[in-house]
């Protein structure tokens, strides 16, 4: 059986790191994408110490040249890609909460650069490599925060728990639609496109306030992503 190759963006910490760790434990070659080299190298060492065949890939999803260099490196080293996990994300680059009516446009744009445009940039750059795999998978890490129905329902726990904000929820709603549109484009290919909702997970992303362990959602996704993939396309996941 051919060893699978997976690229995870934002793999130096949190859900991205745990996903990389668990995929590596299943024998998948893990390409740990990270913007910062020092943190990326540290993640690479930690993953290898755990037995994974892991390799740091410098990858800033907001930098077209960085994305292209990563794609060229993967092509030169492996010639293909089996799994792409678009995990890199942010809630607010400025790290300040604000109601939609008070949202700074520069922060809104910065969040979309990572959560939306970065996904498009990385996916488009990696698609030629994914097409070379027998049956590749693209997984976009989304959030129930992007669910219009949940955010609009007065009885929804999400609506009651989460204050009104513009950047993160709207970016994840956009990501959900992107997932559906890539799946539609690729429906006659062996590539399967999904969105995954890890839930409110305790990571650096939210100051470890989440009520789920980082290992539980990553373990669920890790098993699914590493399985042999059917040749028919479909979408599933993030609401």
- CA dist 207 → 111, 142, 192, 201, 211 (Å): 18, 18, 33, 10, 11
Catalytic pick from 168, 182, 192, 200?
168
Residue 168 is among the residues annotated as catalytic for this protein: yes
Residue 112 is among the residues annotated as catalytic for this protein: no
Catalytic pick from 112, 172, 182, 200?
172
Decide if 3 contacts 27 (C-beta within 8 A).
yes
- Tell me which residue of 169, 172, 168, 170 sits closest to 140, measured CA to CA: 172
Decide if 66 contacts 58 (C-beta within 8 A).
yes
Taking each continuous run of H as one helix and of E as one strand, the counts in the chain are: 9, 6
Give helix 105-112 / helix 167-185 axis angle, nearest 10°.
30
* Active site members: 168, 172
């Amino acid at each position: 059986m051919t060893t699978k190759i997976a690229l995870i963006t934002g793999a130096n910490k949190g859900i991205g790191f745990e996903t990389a760790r668990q995929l590596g434990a299943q024998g998948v070659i893990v390409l740990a994408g990270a913007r910062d080299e020092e943190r990326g190298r540290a993640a690479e060492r930690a993953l290898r110490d755990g037995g994974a065949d892991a390799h740091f890939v410098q990858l800033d999803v907001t930098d077209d040249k960085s994305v292209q260099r990563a794609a060229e490196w993967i092509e030169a080293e492996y010639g293909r890609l089996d799994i792409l996990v678009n995990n890199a994300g942010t809630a607010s680059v400025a790290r300040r909460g604000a109601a939609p009516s008070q949202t700074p446009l520069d922060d809104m744009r910065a969040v979309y650069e990572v959560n939306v445009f970065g996904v498009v940039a990385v996916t488009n750059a990696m698609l030629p490599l994914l097409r070379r795999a027998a049956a590749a998978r693209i997984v976009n890490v989304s959030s129930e925060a992007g669910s219009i129905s949940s955010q609009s329902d007065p009885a929804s726990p999400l609506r009651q728990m989460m204050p009104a904000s513009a950047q993160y929820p709207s970016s994840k709603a956009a990501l959900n639609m992107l997932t559906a549109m890539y799946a539609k484009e690729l429906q006659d290919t062996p590539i399967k496109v999904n969105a995954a909702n890890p839930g409110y997970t305790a990571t650096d992303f939210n100051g470890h306030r989440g009520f789920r362990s980082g290992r539980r959602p990553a373990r669920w996704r890790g098993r699914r992503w590493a399985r042999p993939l059917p040749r028919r396309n479909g979408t599933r996941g993030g609401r």
